[in-house]
Structure 1
Amino acid sequence: MDPQSARKPLFLAAFVALSALVWAYWGTLVDICVRWVDDPQYSHGFFVPVFSGYLLWRRREHLWANDFRPRWWGLGAVLVGTGLRFVGHVFYQPWIDPTSLIIVLFGLAATAGGRRAVVWSGPAILFLAFTVPLPYRVQMMLGGTLQRVATLTSTYALQTLGVPAVAEGNVILLSETTLGIVEACNGLSMLVTFFALATGVAILAKRSLVERVAIVASAVPIAVIANVARITLTGVLFEANQGEWARAVFHDFAGLLMMPLAIALLLGELFILKRSLIPVASDAPA
């Protein structure tokens, strides 16, 4: 029998299991979609499942491996994810619910096809972690830290450009006005979105493991640099008596300016890594 035909019952069972999973997590999925619409910090969420689906299609050759067989040990991961979801409901931790969904997906993949199915679906399932909202304490901690870093770094950049600027708390005092770096301007939304983008680039790039790790790790400084550039440009415009342009840059054009700059920096990093890290040729005969 053709291997693809032999696996049709397995694919049918997987479809039924995924349908049951969608039914069980329907409320969670709706809440996630609502957050994508209402919370700018997670506006990239609509891109995440599309990219995960593309990864599954891109790695489809793993589906026809000989060791793609059902394994009962995957049910253990399903039980762990189900228990974690129960814990999240008991202690009212909303971020645990979507996290349990990712664990259950791994369990279903292992149950359907064992190790080979996990290898095939692993990157796509892990990428779905970008749909999980940050815990409130983590979000506040990261937001406060980024807010302070943006204030101090932007003040230093303005002083370097010859603009009189002094930081007091999260406020930058200019010669004739003040620039408040409020919570909405801490750059956390940019960081979360760009971190997902950098991870996607690292997965698709045909680079070494060291380069991929460097690409993902660079998402944090690049996002901070983009936010600091926006704040610095705003301060320069205020000092040049261009208040209307400054307010437009600070609020209206923020997303339009920050993301292209971040992507340009990422492309520059890819260029530098390609020129800096040279693969070592093997001495073994061909």
Structure 2
Amino acid sequence: MSAGSASTHATISAATASTPARIGGLFTREGLWATALLATAFAAYFYRWFLQQGLMSSKNIDDWGHAFVIPLISGYVLWKRRDEIVRTPIETFWPGMIAVCLGLYCYLFFLVGVPNHMLAGGAMLLCLFGLVLTVCGTRMMRHIFLPLAFLAFGVTISESIMILVTFKLQQISSSGAFLVLSLLGGVMGFAVDISGNVLTVIEASGERHEMNVAEACSGIRMVVAFIALSGAVAMLSCREWWKRLSLLALSVPVSVVMNVIRVTVLGLLTLVDANLAEGEAHTLIGTLLLIPALGLFVLVSWVLNTIVKPQAEGGAA
């Protein structure tokens, strides 16, 4: 055998030997079967929560419809990181079973003992985290943690917490919309009055159109969707943690500004036809405002990455 043939044979042998290391563990036939069985058992155990979450999101599509998209975004992030995931060796980490057992127990408690959909969802995510940590190890978790954590945005928050969080934001939105409408009224020839959360648009003819901001501004409840949107942009475009946190911090002010715009548009629509500010109109407008919000998050991400160049691969999780 010539020296060239021997060298080629050695190269092929080395590549063949390294291949199992790259695609070992979960990426073997046995590993894929085991993963499928674990996924089936996981879905069977938590199916009641998944069913309830699906029904809640369907019935409140304007508030929680984004829950259907959250797993798709997490899956896309994992797909983008597939090369790093395949190259990372699988190492069983048995302490992860603590999180698995705790998640299983807490789920039953919040399902049967003290029923709470939000906390049951948290227990489900804790169990999922523990499973991945146990099966894949700490090194793999470095690539998977953020997509797993992002799934939390798909859990419906308890109504009492949403009321507590959004009440003040709702007041800010109504005051902001009153200010903008007052400025526009000086130009367009109408007046605006505010009493609590009720805005009254008064035409030049004296006709009054009342708008309950507490109802029309239900879009402030989309604050979770705005935070999830900023989180998705942060995961996909930023490597440093401080940039990701900056985008998340921006999400709440953006949601308030977008809802000021929303209520302002609804107020202007009452001048054309009062019916346009009711029904599906406010839901449609709120959904459309996610588009400029996305553009703003992408712009801020670009500015941050331009001012401070991203770290090299592996510099951040």
TM range (shorter): 0.7 to 0.9
Q: 2:199 aligns to what?
A: 172
* 48-57 vs 7-16, greater mean Cα deviation: 7-16
Cα distance, 1:115–1:256 mapped onto 2, change above 3 Å: closer
Which residue identity lines up with residue 289 of structure 2 in the other structure? M
Q: 2:33 aligns to what?
A: 12
Q: Do the aligned partners of 2:24 and 2:90 also contact (CA within 8 Å) in 1?
A: no
CA distance in 1, matches of 2:302, 2:84: 31
Q: 1:262 aligns to what?
A: 293
- Unaligned runs of at least 5 residues, structure 1: 282-286
Q: State whether structure 2 residue 221 is matched by structure 1 residue 197.
A: no
Identity %: 24
2:42 to 13, 17, 21: 21
Q: CA deviation at 1:259?
A: 2.1
What pairs up with 1:232-243 in 2 under 5 angstroms?
232-238=264-270, 241-243=271-273
Q: 2:21 aligns to what?
A: 3
* 118-127 vs 18-27, greater mean Cα deviation: 118-127
Larger radius of gyration: 2
Q: 1:218 aligns to what?
A: 250
Q: 2:314 aligns to what?
A: none
CA distance in 2, matches of 1:114, 1:26: 26
Q: CA deviation at 1:210?
A: 2.6
Q: Deviations over 1:115-164 (max 9, x none)?
A: 02322321221111111110221111123223212111111222233353
What pairs up with 1:66-145 in 2 under 5 angstroms?
67-89=89-111, 90-145=113-168
* 98-107 vs 47-56, greater mean Cα deviation: 47-56
CA RMSD of aligned residues (A): 2.6
1:247 to 255, 272, 277: 277
* 117-126 vs 99-108, greater mean Cα deviation: 117-126
Q: CA deviation at 1:83?
A: 2.1
Q: Do the aligned partners of 2:262 and 2:286 also contact (CA within 8 Å) in 1?
A: no
CA distance in 2, matches of 1:65, 1:257: 40
* 241-250 vs 180-189, greater mean Cα deviation: 241-250
3-state secondary structure, aligned to 1:178: strand
- Unaligned runs of at least 5 residues, structure 2: 1-16, 203-207, 312-317
Q: CA deviation at 1:243?
A: 2.6
Q: Do the aligned partners of 2:238 and 2:310 also contact (CA within 8 Å) in 1?
A: no
